[in-house]
Chains A and B, each alone.
Chain A
Amino acid sequence: MIELRDLHKSYKRARGLAGFSMHVEKGEVVGLVGPNGAGKTTLIKILATLLRADGGTARLGEWEVTENPEKVRAMVGYLPDVAGIYQDLRIGEFLDFFADAFHLDAAGRSAAVERALESAGLLDRKNEYVEHLSLGWKQRLQLAKTLIHEPKILLLDEPASGLDPLARMAFRDHLKKLRAGGITILVSSHILADLEEVCTRIVFISEGKNVAEPELSGNVSDEFAPTVRCVIEFERSSSAAEIAKAAPGVRLVESTPERLLVAVDGGEKNASLFLQALLNGGVVVSHFDAKGGDLEERYARTFRGVSGKASP
């Protein structure tokens, strides 16, 4: 659905993209993650036809972005990082304007507006002015506007920034529904927990390049698989600490006759192997808790290790 090859984009004083490549299948929800200035917004703007790449190819569906910008716009919904809104229009008028701007005919426009109002939960507020909506509702309206022409690809640049936790949760649920509907989504965000919940794939971007695509599942074969911190409680045993010391990739952090705190390299898979080793060694485990397999840690490891420029 999205095919990017060796994309380059430079600005007067900075480099936006430096050979970015990526392939996204139909129905995938891909999260773009990287430090500020990594090239996320540049990439999304190129796909939204706002910027022209200096080199490389960007293909959305069957259309090359620079050669067929109109065709691309018809199949793409774009929500910028700071999306302005016409405060002095009514909600219905706002949606109707964008439906008209996407050349929907009168009947199609009216149906599209009703559908958008319903999906945003704004059906009974159609005649209210946009300026009376809270930030969370405005963001819902923005998303509804972005979807008004039923795009096949959704480009979201920091869509949850500035939202309160409840609005963020609602927005996340909305994205999950869209994912279930089979739409292809490319979303950039610094809120890694949200991405982990919504995305089917994550792409780490740094200095304009695709530097890693860490697995979201517990696949530990990936070199960026996280370190898992495990707390194990068990019936008094002298062999548990010995087993931990002998297990590959396991570092003993804290040890008592009834409790261990260890760091297991290689993610959850290695952590479960370690648990198996304890059980095989006759340790009667009453509690096992593994934490740290999240995107945040992989992000920190990637950007400290690969680019060394991650924000602190």
Chain B
Amino acid sequence: MSLLRNPMIRKELRQRLRERRGWVLPTLYILLLSSVILFAYSEESGRQSMPNGVQGAEIGVAIFLGLIFTQAIVLLLMAPVFSAGGITIEKEQRTFAALLTTLLTPGDIWWGKFVSSLLYLLLLLSCSLPLLALSFAFGGVEPKEVLEATGYTILSLGAVCSLGLLCSALFRRSVHSTAAAYAVVLILTVVTAILFFYLQERWHSEARDWAGMPDPIHVQGPLLLNPIYPLLTLTGGAEFPYALSSCLLFAAMLLLAAASTMRLLKRSGEQV
């Protein structure tokens, strides 16, 4: 079965887009990003009155950074909602047995659930592209940076969705799997940041000539698991030089969670 001609994808997308949130969420999402643009614009243009003034490029960068961080955070918070219920909903509505006794392989089921949960987030992400393009009007931002930011966000969302599906395969009820997926997101975002600041503090107190140098890999290590880290490399390239390592870690996380989910699906007949 080809990757896109998967009956699970069609079914899932039909079901998702028939839900009220199918159109409510994109609307709220666009409204939120629009308010971020307005806020960034008014903050930066407010500084025009200051002695040095600001360039249009600075407004463009402010809009760009405001948007990419806001959308990354909002989508990371939404990812568990769309992925962590993927398999538990089949268990809860008692359709899992019928699914497991078709000719769909665990790989087909995982791929269908993964693509459908990610596609909805990508729909939201694509909604924000015209808004991101606004920053071009002010200058200071190149299309390459927009593409990189979008690519990093998609990769981290893919990893979180894959982890959410793993939680969904592990638990019987959506409420439990969603809570577990949020715990994972919390660990990846907040706990890694706290750990990084702790290690950085220790290193700064121990090392003498650290000023102006990026933190070494053993200090930035926990932060590489933070989905926001690759975006930081866009803003402070010299300070956060390990974007590729972080991306590889997220790709590995995605694949490992996918393999574990498929393994669980293969043996999940006892759960139906």
| CB contact under 8 A between A84 and B15, given known A50-B101, A97-B7, A102-B102 | no
Find out whether the CB atom of A50 lies under 8 angstroms from the CB atom of B102: no
B14 → A minimal CB distance (Å)? 7
Contact of A50 among B19, B90, B272 (CB under 8 A): B272
Does residue A88 face the partner (Cβ distance < 8 Å to B)?
yes
Find out whether the CB atom of A48 lies under 8 angstroms from the CB atom of B101: yes
B170 → A minimal CB distance (Å)? 18
Does residue B18 face the partner (Cβ distance < 8 Å to A)?
yes
A6 → B minimal CB distance (Å)? 21
B206 → A minimal CB distance (Å)? 52
- Give A98 to B10 CA distance when docked, in angstroms: 12
A69 → B minimal CB distance (Å)? 9
Find out whether the CB atom of A83 lies under 8 angstroms from the CB atom of B15: no
Find out whether the CB atom of A73 lies under 8 angstroms from the CB atom of B103: yes
Does residue B269 face the partner (Cβ distance < 8 Å to A)?
yes
- Give A83 to B97 CA distance when docked, in angstroms: 8
Contact of B102 among A83, A93, A98 (CB under 8 A): A98
Render A57-101 as a binary contact track against B, CB cut-off 8 A, 1 for contact.
000000000000010011010101011111111000100011011
Q: Which residues of B contact A49 (CB under 8 A)?
A: 100-101, 269
Considering only residues 142-200 of chain A, those with a C-beta below 8 Å from chain B are 145
Does residue B213 face the partner (Cβ distance < 8 Å to A)?
no
Count, A-B residue pairs, CB within 8 A? 74
Find out whether the CB atom of B11 lies under 8 angstroms from the CB atom of A97: yes
Does residue B104 face the partner (Cβ distance < 8 Å to A)?
yes
| CB contact under 8 A between A73 and B101, given known A45-B269, A93-B14 | yes
Does residue A291 face the partner (Cβ distance < 8 Å to B)?
no
Render B130-145 as a binary contact track against A, CB cut-off 8 A, 1 for contact.
0000000000000000
Does residue A103 face the partner (Cβ distance < 8 Å to B)?
yes
B5 → A minimal CB distance (Å)? 9
Considering only residues 1-57 of chain B, those with a C-beta below 8 Å from chain A are 1, 7-8, 10-11, 14-15, 18-19
Find the residue from A76, A100, A101 having the highest chain B CB count within 10 A. Answer: A101
Ordered by A's residue number, 24 sampled pairs between the chains whose C-beta atoms are within 8 Å are: A45-B269, A49-B269, A50-B269, A52-B269, A73-B101, A78-B97, A78-B101, A80-B94, A80-B272, A84-B93, A84-B96, A85-B93, A86-B15, A86-B93, A86-B95, A88-B14, A88-B15, A88-B18, A89-B15, A93-B11, A100-B7, A101-B7, A103-B103, A145-B98
Question: How many chain A residues touch B (Cβ–Cβ < 8 Å)?
Answer: 28
Residue of B at shortest CB range from A145?
B98
Does residue B270 face the partner (Cβ distance < 8 Å to A)?
yes
B15 → A minimal CB distance (Å)? 5
Tell me if A's interface is mostly helix, strand, loop or mixed: loop
Residue of B at shortest CB range from A70?
B103
Considering only residues 227-272 of chain B, those with a C-beta below 8 Å from chain A are 269-270, 272
| CB contact under 8 A between A73 and B94, given known A51-B270, A103-B1 | no
A10 → B minimal CB distance (Å)? 12
Q: Which residues of A contact B147 (CB under 8 A)?
A: none
Residue of A at shortest CB range from B16?
A88
- Give A93 to B12 CA distance when docked, in angstroms: 12
Find out whether the CB atom of B103 lies under 8 angstroms from the CB atom of A101: yes
Contact of B98 among A45, A74, A83, A87 (CB under 8 A): A83
Contact of A80 among B19, B93, B97 (CB under 8 A): B97
Does residue B194 face the partner (Cβ distance < 8 Å to A)?
no
Find out whether the CB atom of A84 lies under 8 angstroms from the CB atom of B95: yes
Does residue B99 face the partner (Cβ distance < 8 Å to A)?
yes
Find out whether the CB atom of B7 lies under 8 angstroms from the CB atom of A76: no
B23 → A minimal CB distance (Å)? 15
Find out whether the CB atom of A82 lies under 8 angstroms from the CB atom of B94: yes
Contact of A101 among B15, B102, B269 (CB under 8 A): B102
Find out whether the CB atom of A80 lies under 8 angstroms from the CB atom of B103: no
Find the residue from B11, B18, B272 having the highest chain A CB count within 10 A. Answer: B11
Find out whether the CB atom of B18 lies under 8 angstroms from the CB atom of A101: no
- Give A103 to B11 CA distance when docked, in angstroms: 15
Residue of A at shortest CB range from B15?
A88
Residue of A at shortest CB range from B272?
A50
Residue of B at shortest CB range from A85?
B95
Q: Which residues of B contact A93 (CB under 8 A)?
A: 11, 14
Q: Which residues of A contact B272 (CB under 8 A)?
A: 45, 50, 80
A20 → B minimal CB distance (Å)? 18
A300 → B minimal CB distance (Å)? 32
